[in-house]
Amino acid sequence: MTGQWRERTGRIGVLTGAGISTDSGIPDFRGPRGVWTKDPIAELLSTYDNYLADPELRERAWLARRDNPAWQATPNAAHEALVELARAGRAVTIITQNIDRLHQRAGTPPERVIEIHGNMFEVVCVECAFETSMAATLERVAAGEPDPPCPECGGILKAATIMFGQQMDQRTLVKAAITAEASDIFLAVGTSLQVEPAASMCAVAVRAGADLIIVNAEPTPYDDIATEVIREPIGTAVPRIVAEILSA
């Protein structure tokens, strides 16, 4: 590795994408073997307007949630390495685009994880304030409700995730931007950096003076402003980066 970034001892921001979870058995989306690469129609399941308009698409979405490999997934070496930053008392916050909660399951304190795209473990109604667990809703699907309506208002239920075309939670975005702006080191791990506004956190961090380290197998739109770009496997790169940060 080059540069002096590993000698910095201040705040650490981390942006993680689907690539950090592939070693846990959860496929990414845009990679060579990604979910959308292999089945472009699957991307429709994550498009808000299509989801609201098409009952058949919603039925398929509930089956996809039921069969999501994240239910059986366990944290991998990269998730576990990032936990060491918090355990060592370093000021670290993880902004994740993932909905699998593997960071929390690895041991990173929940208050240090910003789920910018929501999570797959909760269900919300698009019409009212009703919320419930994904497990409870999938029980309804298994019992014969292929597109279970809201039990309070009859509205459409969906996972507590942010879909394409859906407005993001502004408070969450502000928290993410504050994290990026306050960082001395900003790691972008396993993300194509093609989805905004999550990807723009890299630019926010760099403008505020952070060293940007990108760990991703493929080129990203933010490589040119990075202090360093690392192409080696995430499962080996992240533990090594964390070890270097903790040695400072």
Among all residues, which ones are annotated catalytic? 117
DSSP state of 180: H
Q: Can you list the alpha helix ranges (DSSP code H) found in the chain?
A: 35-38, 48-53, 55-66, 77-87, 102-106, 134-142, 170-182, 201-207, 234-246
Among 14, 1, 8, 11, which Cα is nearest to 201's? 14
Could you list the residues known to form a binding site for Zn(2+), using ranges. Answer: 125, 128, 150, 153
DSSP state of 168: P
Report the relative pairing of strands 185-189 and 12-16 from DSSP bridges: parallel
Could you list the residues known to form a binding site, using ranges. Answer: 125, 128, 150, 153
CA separation, residue 133 to residues 9, 104, 167, 224, 245 (Å):
39, 17, 22, 42, 38
CA pair distance 112, 88, nearest whole angstrom: 14
- Give the DSSP H/E element, type plus range, for residue 131: strand 131-133
